[in-house]
Amino acid sequence: MSAEKSIAGASENTVPYRISKPGAIGIHKFLASIWIDAVSLVVIGVIFVVPFIFIVLTAAKPRPEAALFQFSWPSHFQLIENIRDVMAFGDNRMLLAIWNSTILTVGSVTLIVLLSALVAFVLQRRGDRIASVVSSVMLAGLIIPPSVVPTIFVLQRVGLYKSIFGLIMVEVAFTMPFSTLIFRTFMASIPGEIDEAAIMDGASPLRVFFSVILPLLRPAIVTVIVTSSVAIYNDFTGPLYFLPGAQNVTAQLTLYSFMSQFSSQWNLLFADVVVITIPPLIMFMFFQRQIVSGLTAGAIKG
């Protein structure tokens, strides 16, 4: 079943570099094609997989062994114990960090989806002069690097510095240009007649948006949720500048502060890396296609 599926998937994703005559694949040709697969697998495996194996092996070692940085099987495989130690470290700091990261990510992503879908809806449907101004501002937002200290200044003025809500606002502002772009591209594929039918039925703008458009945007929403949650969960600079303080620690910052605290406990540092990599790994396993389509959105048509 899955083999059938992958073969079907492969054929539609293939460019015929070497078009082989059907039924004429000799043993020689077969070996030649396996050869390319084998070399690619070894080279790509060594470069891209070995670092991850190294992470897990080091995270599973006893403390003195991990400090040798060797690529070797642990004499005693204690991954679970090490993860438990990391979790318990410093008054369950890690649990607090995971909790904070969860609130930060869920809060930001919810607002990003809602606000940028509203913008993309009006932007794409109107297509007037204001819409093109809004588009240019969004484009500028994609390119211009945010200025750090003035953002802290503004956060202080509105009383949101060192608060998770403040960082959520910042993440929403920084991520919105990208999500609006994705929604706008997808919006173009939803025919305007659908809105008009709802309008004939007397639906208000909010009703058209929430009960007609939003459900149809679902694939784009999944893409935006997945790409922006990975970006915000992995964000290091944002919490570093805008959310200082021990109580505000996020998942990425545990890694950073453990780097100095665990200077001789490399097994625990890498156990932390393992814990922190689990959420993106889950995203990768379930949503690889959406992530890829999000990242290539607009890239090809320009």
Partner 1 sequence: MENTLRPPSVLRTYPHWFYIPAAIVFGVFFVVPTLLSFYFSLTRWTLFNATFIGFDNYALFLSDPQLSSGLRNTIIYAVLTSGLKVIISLPLAMLLTSSIRLKALLRGIIFFPVLVSTVAVGITFATLMQPSAGLINTVFGSLGLPQPDWLGNPNLALFSVALVDVWKGIGIATVIFIAGILSIPLDFFETARLEGGNWVKFRYVIIPLARNATFTVILLSFIGGLRTFDLIWTMTHGGPGFASDVLTSVIYKEYQAGFYGLSTAGNVVLFILVTIIVYPLMRFFNRRELEL
Report how many residues bind partner 1 under the rule CB under 8 A: 109
Stretch in the footprint of partner 1 (CB under 8 A) among 32-40, 74-82, 90-98, 183-191: 32-40
Sketch the per residue contact string, 208 through 227, with partner 1: x for CB under 8 A, - otherwise.
Answer: xx------------------
Binder among 110, 237, 247, 263 for partner 1 (CB under 8 A) = 237
Nearer to partner 1, 122 or 216 (CB): 122
Binder among 1, 3, 4, 10 for partner 1 (CB under 8 A) = 10
Interacting positions 114-143 with partner 1 (CB under 8 A)? 114-116, 118-119, 121-122, 125-128, 130, 134, 137, 141, 143
Nearer to partner 1, 1 or 299 (CB): 299
174 binds partner 1 (CB under 8 A): yes
Q: How many CB atoms lie within 10 A of CB 164?
A: 20
94 binds partner 1 (CB under 8 A): no
Residues 6+ apart with CB under 8 A from 191: none
Residue with structure tokens 């990425």? Answer: 252
Min dist. Cβ of residue 276 to partner 1 (A):
6
Min dist. Cβ of residue 295 to partner 1 (A):
6
For the chain, helix, strand, coil in percent to 5 are 75, 0, 25
In three-state secondary structure terms, 180 is helix
Amino acid, single-letter form, for residue 29: K
* CA 274 – CA 54 distance, rounded (Å): 11
C-alpha 61, offset from chain centre: 29
158 binds partner 1 (CB under 8 A): yes
17 binds partner 1 (CB under 8 A): yes
Interacting positions 37-56 with partner 1 (CB under 8 A)? 37, 40-41, 44-45, 47-52, 54-55
Min dist. Cβ of residue 75 to partner 1 (A):
17
CA angle 115, 120, 125 (to 5 degrees): 140
Min dist. Cβ of residue 301 to partner 1 (A):
7
Backbone angles phi, psi at 265, to 5 degrees: -110, 70
C-alpha 131, offset from chain centre: 28
Binder among 29, 188, 219, 256 for partner 1 (CB under 8 A) = 256
70 binds partner 1 (CB under 8 A): yes
* CA 166 – CA 254 distance, rounded (Å): 20
277 binds partner 1 (CB under 8 A): yes
**Backbone CA torsion sign across 50, 33, 291, 4:** negative
Give kind and range of the element (H or E) at residue 9: helix 2-12
Nearer to partner 1, 38 or 246 (CB): 38
Task: Say if CB 271 and CB 59 are below 8 A apart.
Answer: yes
